[in-house]
Amino acid sequence: GSPIQAAAEALTLIVAEHGIAAGDVARLDVLLPPNGARIVDDRSMPDINLQYCMAVILLDGGKLSFDATHTYDRMSDPAVLDMRSRVTLTGSPEFVGMERQRPATVRVTLTDGRLLEQGLQGIPIVEQLDGVEFLAAGIDDPRDGLGRIVDNGVAGRRHAR
């Protein structure tokens, strides 16, 4: 789900900058717009379950793959369940009315007591091709060598209008 995008990007940035892993994390707090938080809170589908996506990012070294977001069996993996139990999602009053921008704040409390925080004001749209918006979060040129738009399998990175 698109409400997850900024939070996933923020956590990816934290992992890249600080080199943390799942075992380093005591608690992970995510703040989203209230309506977006309701959409992605502990859902049964992996690609729209924020807690699952955040857990997988930490367990997979700071990456969220298409396969991971579409693997139902992994949702019951003990390591994923343990990490999911440390993720708290809150619909933040500071983000009321900002659902379209999809902002997020991610706060990671480490087992050594340090607090790491990353906020993003949203995932900007960088280009529109043939009526499809392509988002800045990790997508390269979506056209193949012939100028056709291709689905490169990056979950949640394409948003049709």
pLDDT tens profile 15-32: 999 999 999 999 999 999
Closest listed residue to residue 2, CA positions, set 122, 140, 150, 139: 122
Two tokens at 79?
């390591």
Evaluate if pTM is beyond 0.85: no
Res 124: pLDDT? 61
Q: What's the pLDDT tens digit per position in 59-73?
A: 999 999 999 999 999
| N-term to C-term CA, the chain | 15
